[in-house]
Every structure is written in structure tokens, then in C-alpha cells.
Amino acid sequence: MTASSKKNQGAAPPKVPRRLLDGVLLLDKPVGLSSNDALIRAKRLYRVKKAGHTGTLDPLASGLLPLCFGEATKFSQDLLDADKTYEATMRLGVRTTTGDAEGEAIDTRDVTCDEGAVREAMRRFLGDIVQVPPMYSALKRDGKPLYEYARAGQTVEREGRPVKILALEMIACALPDVTFRVTCSKGTYVRTLAEDIGEALGCGAHLVMLRRTGVGALTLEHAVTLDALTAADEPARDTWLRPVDALLSTFPAVRLNAEAARRFMHGQRLPVNELVLDRAACAAAGRVRVYAEDGRLLGVAKAANGVLAPERLVVSGAG
């Protein structure tokens, strides 16, 4: 073997070039994979430099996980704050350490209720409620996640947190299993909701299935699986990317003339009456998505008192 061949044999494989890519991928996360692992796999497939997700799904859970690439990461907080919709199945009569099927059973009771009693119990949880976060959660106490205390066999005091259940309906009832659909505010633990319904029925419960079907205005209908992405070539994968403003569809749209767009991209506050083409969208105070005359997304702004104040800008203009 020559010296040059020995040198080549020990050489590291060439680095795969990363792409500057802006967009939103609606991923259908499978059961058994963490949200971070799903993000890493998608990031590798797309070869993007910058990526992030919009709120975690437990490994036990499947369903909609919007992933943000490039400039879209600037707007991920809007989805973190958005309402979520889930389909879930709870099993009555058994409580577990984690509140779901991953934990060990710690309490078993007879299920003596009927479907009518379950419906009545579920109705009590509609609207504004207070939840005590589970010990097996990523919330922190003194800089350490609660699940670390739980794994060490410790329980710490947790304050109840206000959340809102906007919709809660039964899909199927084959006792002891009950499948339901819930739309809830950010910070809601569906595991805890199932446990609390079980306690209201006097038999306890834990979650055996959880699938997220909606995040804000985004739905599972147009999501793609990792298997499908892996099997596709790069041009086909790119067709599943949605534009950055898919995250902002609930905001009114405002177009700026050329001079206003220039000033907006320099972070300047704009008088609505002079520079904004769509003044009606700024009539009510609130956040708006801002476009140039040619349809490029420029960012988001807050409209108030006749002024458009930039909040976050799309630097690349790829929108």
C-alpha cells in the first residue's frame, strides 16, 4: 500500500454541504421517536443549516410536529403559543407513575361507570381549569427538570396552572377505554386531563394513545412521514415544504409600497396613512404579517394608533 493510499484510507468522509433553506415542514411524527430526534433526522435529510421545532411531543405521542427551517425559526414562538388539538385514548381503572402507558401501574380500581357518566365527567372540564403539572415533565424546579426528581423517587410541590379546554368530545367508548378529541390552550397536559377525568369518575385513568392533529391553523391533513421523506429524492422532499407565512396565516396581511418596505426592513416605524397599501388591515390594533408589493414576506409587525411597528423581519426575503 502506498503512502498516499494509506493517507486516503484514514481521511474523514467529505462534509455534506448545508443549504440555506426557509420554510415549514409539517411532519407526522411516529410513536417511539422524540421530537428532537425527529428534528435531527429531518434536518439531515434536508441538509439545512438552521432548524427548530414548535413544541415537543412525547415519544409515546404521534402526529403533527411543525418543523421550522431558516427564517421560519423566528416565528416558532407563535406556534408554541397556539392552541393544540389532539385525539387521545384513556384507560379507566388504572393509574400509572407517568400518567401514560410508559409508566408502572400504581393503583387499580374497578370501573363501575357507564358511557353517560363519562360524558358528564368530561363536560366538567370544559373551559378554564387549573392543572397540576405531572412530575414526569420537562418543567424545571431549581434548574432541574421535574422528571429527574421523579426518576430519583422524589416528589416536589407543584403549583396549579390555569389552562383552557376549548373543546372536548368523546369519539368512542368501549370501557374501560375512552377515545376523545380535545382542543386546548398551550401548557395543557392531556395526560393530566385523562388522570383528572378518571379521578372525577372515582376509578382513575391513564393515557394509552395520543395523536396531535392540529397546531393553530395547521393540521395533520398535509403532513408527511419520515419514511416518505427518506424514500424521496431532494426535489420531491422540497415540495413538502410550505412557505414561512404558513405560520402566520391567522394574522391580517398588509402590503407596503416600495419606500415603506425599505424603511420597514431597516426597523423603522411607519405611519399607516402614508405608506401602507392595505390600511383596512391595520384598522384594528394587533399583529399583522407584512409583504412587499411583489408578494415577498417581510416579517410581522404590530399595528396600533396609526403606526406599524416592526417586530420580526425575514432577512433572506425567501418567505
Q: What is the 3-state secondary structure (H, E, C) of 52-117?
A: EECCCCCCCCEEEEEEEEHHHHHHHHHHHCCCEEEEEEEEECEEECCCECCCCEEEECCCCCCHHH
What are the grid coordinates assigned to 195, written together? Answer: 388522570
Name beta bridge partners: 85.
183, 214
3-state DSSP call for residue 4?
Answer: helix
What are the grid coordinates assigned to 69, written together? Answer: 427551517
Complete DSSP assignment for 202-264:
TS-EEEEEEEEEEETTEEGGG-B-HHHHHHS-HHHHHTTEEPGGGGGTTSPEEEB-HHHHHHH
Distance spanning both ends of the chain, measured CA to CA: 53
Dist. CA 84–CA 86, nearest whole Å:
7
Contact, 29 vs 35, CB < 8 A? Answer: yes
Dist. CA 22–CA 75, nearest whole Å:
12
Dist. CA 84–CA 69, nearest whole Å:
21
Dist. CA 319–CA 248, nearest whole Å:
11
Catalytic residue IDs: 58
Contact, 99 vs 205, CB < 8 A? Answer: no
Contact, 275 vs 263, CB < 8 A? Answer: yes
